[in-house]
Amino acid sequence: MLVQTDNQSVVPKPNNSFESSPVPNYANIPEAGNLYGNKDRSAAAISLQPKATPQGFPNIDNHHFSFNDIKRITNDFRNCIGIGGFGNVYIGLLENGFQVAVKIRSHLSSQGVKEFLAEAKNLTRVHHKNLVTLMGYCIDGNCMALVYEYMQEANLQHKLKGDFHFEYDVRFLTWEQRLRIAYQSALGLEYLHNACNPPLIHRDVKTSNILLSANLEAKIADFGLSRPFESDESSHISTRIVGTPGYVDPEYYSSNQLSAKSDVYSFGIVLLEIITGQLPIVEGRSDLTQWVRQNLSGGYIERIVDPKIQNKYDINSVWKVTNVACRCTEQSSSRRPSMSAVVSELKESLDLEMSIEKMHNESSMDNLVTDISQDIAFELKENEGHSHMSVPGPSVR
């Protein structure tokens, strides 16, 4: 089913505050490119100098870039590292050596000016280690761009699928790494639901919107569809249906009534992806939630676990997380847990996995020490025997 119902985007005409600025031509901005771009990641340096904030636009710590700044930051749009619904994403470099990702709004994008403004405004007021950081923005004539911190390990979807940047990088995520990513992502969503004022519903939670740093720290991105809501968990707001097929809350889809539990449902699908390595929608297979429940009803937990984990997991930990995912994806929102409850259960699962891993490592070390001790004892005994035999007896005269 096609759920995304955003209006066709229209390239905005410059308002009075931009009439004096040169209007860049979209022909200067590539509309498509190599997914990973140039491997050298080179880019011209640019100073992060404050500029005047356009009229009617939020002040993002005065970090307003011009179109020429964006060209220099991205080395003239040479290094495309991703293509999304908003447009191309380019890697860039600031004067201080800080790498950034620059998301350029394409005039062909289904996400319009409204989503661009929403994302910028939302990111000015959310500050959490598990939410991507906005460095600045550009709204210069027809060019609209957002500048983020650069996340070296791309997104969770690529990691689960095995779409690696370089041929020699074939490291798949372990179960413990997946659990940690799930826990950190849940912390980010819990912050949006409970600590923001007013709270935010993300509305597009999916594995491709969970970005990973060099050390695999997870951060939630893409806030263009986010909406504020009342802090009361029972509150609902009426809104047009947006989101990504396979992740959209069926209750929200049927009623147009959005709540924080809609994010919980989407996160439950993310958990199932983390466990199974499967996409939410696969041709020739039943819905992912149904497929998982069918296997669980027969007790076949091993059938749903991603084979790339290579059986290196604790079965109790997997059962616990799968149970959480199934409760998150209940058809009725009233039967789903809150994000706070999800965070708590994922923390328990992560602690369980880490303790078992620690016990395994200690046991392996103990066995290694025992084996080494036995080998040393055997060698000493052998040497003692040889030494005894080599000592000459009394001379016979």
pLDDT tens-digit series, residues 290-321 = 999 999 999 899 999 999 998 888 899 999 99
Identify the active-site residue in 69, 140, 204, 222: 204
Q: Indicate if 240 and 258 belong to the same structural domain.
A: yes
Q: Indicate if 96 and 31 belong to the same structural domain.
A: yes
- Give the amino acid at 14: P
In a domain, 301, yes or no: yes
Please, are residues 205 and 219 in contact by the beta-carbon 8 Å criterion? no
Beta-strand runs (E) in 94-221:
99-104, 134-140, 143-149, 200-201, 210-212, 218-220
Q: Indicate if 63 and 203 belong to the same structural domain.
A: no
Q: Indicate if 197 and 320 belong to the same structural domain.
A: yes
Check residue 361 and give its pLDDT. 67
- Give the amino acid at 214: A
Report the predicted TM-score, pTM, of the whole model to 2 decimal places: 0.76
Q: How far apart are CA 286 and CA 276, in angstroms?
A: 14
Please, are residues 89 and 80 in contact by the beta-carbon 8 Å criterion? yes
> Which of 271, 162, 256 is closest to 218 using CA atoms?
271
Quickly state the pLDDT bin for 381 (edges 50, 70, 90): low
β-pairing verdict for 80-83 and 64-65: unpaired
Q: Indicate if 134 and 237 belong to the same structural domain.
A: no
Question: Is the pLDDT assigned to residue 96 strictly greater than 50?
Answer: yes
Q: Indicate if 69 and 183 belong to the same structural domain.
A: no
88 - beta bridge partners? 83
Q: Indicate if 137 and 270 belong to the same structural domain.
A: no
In a domain, 368, yes or no: no
Q: Indicate if 161 and 56 belong to the same structural domain.
A: no
Cα distances from 333 to residues 90, 174, 263, 268, 341, in angstroms, run: 38, 31, 10, 12, 14
Helix (H) or strand (E) holding 268: helix 260-276
Question: Is the pLDDT assigned to residue 224 strictly greater than 90?
Answer: no
Q: How far apart are CA 382 and CA 378, in angstroms?
A: 6
- Which tens digits make up the pLDDT trace of 128-172? 999 999 888 898 888 889 999 999 998 999 999 876 554 445 578
> Which of 199, 222, 203 is closest to 151 using CA atoms?
222
β-pairing verdict for 64-65 and 134-140: parallel
Quickly state the pLDDT bin for 238 (edges 50, 70, 90): confident
Q: What is the DSSP letter of 261?
A: H
Query: Which of 131, 149, 167 lies at the terminal end of a domain, its last residue?
Result: 149
Q: Is the peptide bond before 198 cis (omega within 30 degrees of 0)?
A: yes
Average pLDDT taken over every residue of the chain: 78
Q: Indicate if 198 and 321 belong to the same structural domain.
A: yes
Query: Which of 87, 115, 149 lies at the terminal end of a domain, its last residue?
Result: 149
Question: Is the pLDDT assigned to residue 12 strictly greater than 50?
Answer: no
> What is the rounded average pLDDT of the residues 223-228?
87
Q: How many domains does the chain have?
A: 2
Please, are residues 118 and 208 in contact by the beta-carbon 8 Å criterion? no
Query: Which of 149, 164, 180 lies at the terminal end of a domain, its last residue?
Result: 149
In a domain, 8, yes or no: no
Q: Indicate if 248 and 348 belong to the same structural domain.
A: yes
Please give the residue range of the domain that contains residue 200.
Answer: 156-353
Q: Indicate if 177 and 59 belong to the same structural domain.
A: no
Question: Is the pLDDT assigned to residue 277 strictly greater than 80?
Answer: yes
287 is catalytic: no
Q: Indicate if 59 and 133 belong to the same structural domain.
A: yes
Check residue 261 and give its pLDDT. 96
* Helices first, then strands: H and E counts in the chain: 10, 12
Work out the burial of residue 93: count CB atoms within 10 Å of its CB; fewer than 13 is exposed, 13-18 middle, 19 or more buried.
buried
> What is the rounded average pLDDT of the residues 266-272?
98
Please, are residues 131 and 226 in contact by the beta-carbon 8 Å criterion? no
> What is the rounded average pLDDT of the residues 187-193?
97
